[in-house]
């Protein structure tokens, strides 16, 4: 039953369709919150003409092609901040939940976040930061200053991982204002569902899912696959899903099936029919796709970076440290040959199914709201 005493405002700068915004996180969290609290939607987005104008004005060229980081443009940031401030003031809610740092409001607010600009500056290298390569260091520093202003005024920060939570504290946020809220699986699996049998066919199947092919280390995955085809006796295939078009200049190698974008519902089917999920992402704020694999008992190959080690734990797969395709190929072979890994990952599936739910995440947000209001009383 909804808690009539608690009124939560929900502010998100949505993309369209809303269900796919930010890998489904706000859509699913909003639905779960509606089951335990009175939720008011606080609209803060740009109009269609505004979006089109800012999108065209923000077009930049990258090695992967033309892109438009319009959501981070100065006009967008200022417009959204103004709207969340005005809408929050007249919303009549007890707590405003912002999906990412949108702006400062008079009403108490909490910020659900998967990455911070201070952390990006820590990771900044000669080539910039993966997924943010259109930003120079000065632009990220400006975004950090603005973000810090929001963080300073927030009643609570809700990082999606312990990795980000620790980073926030290291950069000056009081530990008492940080509560880690892990996301839920977008395609949940009921507790008790049998884990599919894997590695039973003559050909072992690798799976990669990621729209941002370069940031998710897609080129390394394809190169590692080609190395396996040339040097390993066991036949393997690779399924690639996510990008709108095949992202490499050369055609898909023999043994690679390219699916393009796939709906959330198809993700579970793919993971149930493959033997290993391989995505050693270069930059990962959280990585819900790993959760989707692990709740199905599918071991993963990830990178020893960002939140990926805490998601995989000791029984979820293996971590790579280099960008060398041969190193990745070696880890793939070790994982596929590790019976203990597959047994442990299957045993842990129900534990992960119980934890990675949006209902649990919503309950945490409600608990945070009550704590904030109690502290103000």
pLDDT at 128 over 90: no
- Residue 196 inside a domain? The answer is no
Asked if residue 367 and residue 318 are part of one domain, the reply reads no
Tell me, yes or no, whether 54 and 141 share the same domain. yes
Question: Model pTM?
Answer: 0.94
User: What distances in angstroms separate CA 185 from CA 23, 146, 300, one per listed residue?
Assistant: 10, 31, 16
**Domain count within the chain:** 2
Q: Considering the domain boundaries, does residue 194 fall inside one?
A: no
Section 281-306 average pLDDT:
96
Average pLDDT estimate for 118-128: 87
More confident residue, 124 or 99: 99
Asked if the structure places residue 224 within a domain, the reply is yes
Q: Could you tell me if residue 197 is inside a domain?
A: no
Residues 339-349 pLDDT 10s = 999 999 999 99
The CATH number linked to 128 is: 3.40.50.2000
In this prediction, residues 275-290 reach a mean pLDDT of 95
Whether residue 195 is contained in a domain is answered as: no
3-state SS record for the chain? CCEEEEEEEEEECCCCCHHHHHHHHHHHHHHHHCCCEEEEEEECCCCHHHHHHHHHHCCEEECCEEECCHHHCHHHHHHHHHHHHHHHHHCCCCEEEEECCCCCCCCCEEEEECCCHHHHHHHCECCECCCCCCCCHHHHHHHHHHHHHHHHHCCEEEECCHHHHHHHHHCCCCHHHECCCCCCCCCCCCCCCCCCCCCCCCCEEEEEECCCCCCCCHHHHHHHHHHHHHHCCCCEEEEEECCCCCCCCCCCCCCEEEEECCCHHHHHHHHHCCCEEECCCCCCCCCHHHHHHHCCCCCEEEECCCCHHHHHCCCCEEEECCCCHHHHHHHHHHHHCCHHHHHHHHHCHHHHHHHCCHHHHHHHHHHHHHHHHHHHC
- Do 89 and 131 lie in one domain? The reply is yes
Looking at the fold, whether 281 and 340 belong to one and the same domain comes out as yes
Pair 260, 212 in one domain = yes
Domain assignment present for residue 131? The answer is: yes
Instruction: Say yes or no: 368 and 343 in one domain.
Output: no
Residue 298 has pLDDT above 60, yes or no: yes
Same domain (yes/no): 37, 49: yes
* Residue 180 structural domain: 3-184+357-376
Q: How confident is the model at residue 4 (pLDDT cuts 50, 70, 90)?
A: low
Residue 377 has pLDDT above 70, yes or no: no
pLDDT-derived band at 1, boundaries 50, 70, 90 = very low
What are the two backbone dihedrals, phi and then psi, of residue 278, each rounded to the nearest 5 degrees? Answer: -125, 110
**Same structural domain for residues 46 and 164?**
yes
pLDDT tens digit sequence for 83-95: 999 988 898 999 9
Confidence of residue 286 (pLDDT cuts 50, 70, 90): very high
Do 220 and 130 belong together in one domain?
no
Pairing of strands 60-62, 95-99: unpaired
Mean pLDDT, the chain, whole residue set:
93
Are 113 and 213 in a shared domain?
no
Residues 132 and 170 in one domain: yes
In this structure, is residue 190 part of a structural domain? no
Do 141 and 54 fall into the same domain?
A: yes
In angstroms, rounded to a whole number, what is the distance separating the alpha carbons of residues 39 and 288?
24
- The confidence band for 134, taking pLDDT boundaries of 50, 70 and 90, is confident
Residue 193 included in any domain: no
pLDDT score at 3: 47
């Amino acid at each position: 039953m909804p808690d009539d005493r608690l009124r939560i405002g929900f502010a998100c700068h949505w993309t369209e369709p809303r269900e796919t915004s930010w890998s489904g996180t706000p859509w699913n969290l909003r639905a779960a919150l509606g089951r335990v609290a009175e939720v008011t939607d606080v609209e803060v987005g740009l109009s269609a003409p505004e979006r089109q104008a800012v999108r065209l004005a923000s077009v930049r060229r990258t090695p992967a092609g033309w892109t438009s980081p319009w959501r981070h443009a100065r006009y967008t940031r200022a417009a959204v901040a103004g709207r969340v401030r005005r809408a929050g003031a007249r919303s009549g809610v007890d707590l405003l939940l912002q999906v990412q740092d949108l702006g400062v409001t008079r009403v108490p607010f909490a910020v659900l976040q998967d990455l911070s600009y201070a952390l990006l500056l820590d990771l900044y290298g000669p080539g910039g930061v993966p997924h943010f390569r259109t930003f120079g260091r000065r632009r990220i520093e400006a975004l950090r200053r603005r973000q810090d202003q929001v963080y300073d005024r927030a009643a609570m920060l809700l990082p999606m991982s312990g990795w980000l939570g620790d980073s926030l504290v290291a950069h000056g946020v009081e530990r008492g204002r940080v509560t880690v809220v892990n996301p839920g699986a977008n395609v949940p699996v009921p507790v008790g569902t049998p884990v599919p049998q894997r590695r039973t066919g003559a050909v072992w199947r690798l799976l990669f899912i990621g729209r941002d092919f370069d940031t998710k280390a897609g080129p390394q995955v394809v190169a590692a696959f080609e190395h396996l085809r040339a040097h390993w006796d066991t036949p393997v295939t690779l399924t690639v899903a996510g990008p709108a078009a095949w992202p490499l200049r050369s055609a898909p190698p023999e043994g690679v099936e390219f699916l393009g974008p796939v709906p959330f519902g198809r993700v579970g089917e793919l993971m149930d029919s493959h033997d290993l999920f391989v995505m050693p992402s270069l930059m990962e704020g959280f990585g819900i796709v790993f959760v989707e694999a692990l709740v199905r008992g599918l071991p993963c190959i990830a990178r020893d970076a960002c939140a990926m080690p805490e998601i995989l734990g000791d029984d979820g797969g293996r971590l790579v440290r280099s960008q060398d395709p041969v190193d990745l190929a070696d880890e793939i072979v070790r994982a596929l040959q590790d019976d203990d890994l597959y047994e442990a990952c299957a045993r842990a599936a129900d534990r992960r199914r119980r934890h990675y739910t949006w209902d649990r995440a919503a309950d945490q947000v409600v608990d945070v709201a009550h704590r904030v209001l109690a502290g103000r009383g």
